[in-house]
Amino acid sequence: MSRLLVACFVVFPFIGLFLTFPTSLTWDESILNTVAYVIVVGFVNVWLGMGTAWWLLFTESRWKSWVEWLTFLPLFIPVLASMFGMYIVLAQIGFIGTYTGVGLVLLVTTLPYSIRLAYNAMYVIGRPLLEQTLTLTPLTRIVFVLFPLMRESVRTIVLFSTVIVLSQFVLVQLIGAGLVPTVTTRLYQAYAGNDVSLALQHTWVLVSLPVLLYMGLDALFSIWIRLVKGRLQ
């Protein structure tokens, strides 16, 4: 009984997706921007998240606890509140209304989660096992051991960053000064204009993108691991 309840609880809201079918999918600038942001921010998150987590795990430094707090605390700052402050900062250096400015704040909202996910994954794998890779060159370490070993974590990091990026309306609107259209900003416009079909079309894009990316990464990793295994035979 409780299983059925949980299943209903999870699946139920998806009914909304099928209430009205989108009539057409128009490929426009907003979709292009969104896809580009998702890929770039996802990639940078994996790079910075894993690199920083590696440093936190392996480097002895008197600054370590400070760095730990610096990576940890932004999780507790309300995004919108810090965004008001960042708006003032970025306005001073002319980043408002630019793609770079929007990309930077998208990174600010996603990176703390990625570092934490990567750190937890490395912690679970364990220092002794990871220490075995220290004798390898950084590239060999990443290609042959780290990425195959952290396959699931990399997928989770990309999923988290993608979903967070796709959720941002205020951030893109405020920092992009309305000049950087994304699927999310279009969804709000369609919602405000009472265009259910168009809003639903954007909702479909917002739900499909993370799923496609997650499945794509799985395929990519499978090929990667097969190639890596072949190389060592």
Partner 1 sequence: MSRSSLWFSLFVLALPFTGVAFLIYETVGFDWSELNEAVWRTSLAVTLYVTIVSTVVSLVIGTWLARTVYMKRSLWLMSLLKWPMFVPHVAAAYLFYLLFSGGFPFYGWIEANERHHLVVIFTYVWKEVPFVFLMVVGTYGQLNHGYVDMAKTLQLKPLEQFKVAEWPFLIKPLLDSFWVLVAFISFAYEVPALLGVTYPELLGVLAYERLTTGLFLNAFESYAVALAWTLFIFSGVIASYALTAKRRRRIERGVRR
Contact set for partner 1, span 119-138 (CB under 8 A): 120, 124, 138
As measured in angstroms, the least distance from the Cβ of 226 to partner 1 is 24
- In whole angstroms, the minimum distance from the beta carbon of 81 to partner 1 comes to 4
Torsion of the alpha carbons at 213, 215, 218 and 224, rounded to the nearest 10: -70
| DSSP characters over 139-207 | HHIIIIIIHHHTHHHHHHHHHHHHHHHHH-SHHHHHHTTT-S--HHHHHHHHHHTT-HHHHHHHHHHHH
Q: Which stretch binds partner 1 (CB under 8 A): 25-33, 128-136, 209-217, 219-227?
A: 209-217
Nearer to partner 1, 66 or 226 (CB): 66
Tokens coding 7? 């299943």
Smallest distance, partner 1 to C-beta of residue 96, A = 12
CB of 233 to partner 1, least distance (A): 27
Nearest to 37, CA basis, from 148, 155, 184 = 184
Alpha-carbon distances of 88 from 32, 92, 103, 125, rounded to whole Å: 28, 7, 16, 41
Among 207, 221, 224, 225, binds partner 1 (CB under 8 A): 207
- Give strand ranges (E) for 20-168: none
Residue 229, Ramachandran bin (φ over 0: left; ψ between -120 and 50: alpha; else beta) = alpha
Q: Which is nearer to partner 1, 197 or 229 (CB)?
A: 197
- Cα separation of 143 and 104, whole Å? 28
Quote the least distance from Cβ 29 to partner 1, whole Å: 19
Out of 35, 159, 225, 228, name the contact with partner 1 by CB under 8 A.
Answer: 159
Q: Minimum Å distance from CB 89 to partner 1?
A: 5
Count residues near partner 1 (CB under 8 A).
Answer: 78
Instruction: Quote the tokens at residue 75.
Output: 């999780």
55 vs 53: CA distance, rounded Å: 5
**Interface stretch with partner 1, choices 24-32, 85-93, 127-135, 217-225 (CB under 8 A):** 85-93
- Is 200 a binding residue for partner 1 by CB under 8 A? The answer is yes
Residues in region 20-79 near partner 1 by CB under 8 A: 20, 47-48, 50-52, 54-55, 58-59, 67, 70-71, 73-79
120 or 229, CB closer to partner 1?
120
For residue 20, the SS3 value is: coil
Contact segment (CB under 8 A) with partner 1 among 10-18, 24-32, 128-136, 224-232 equals 10-18
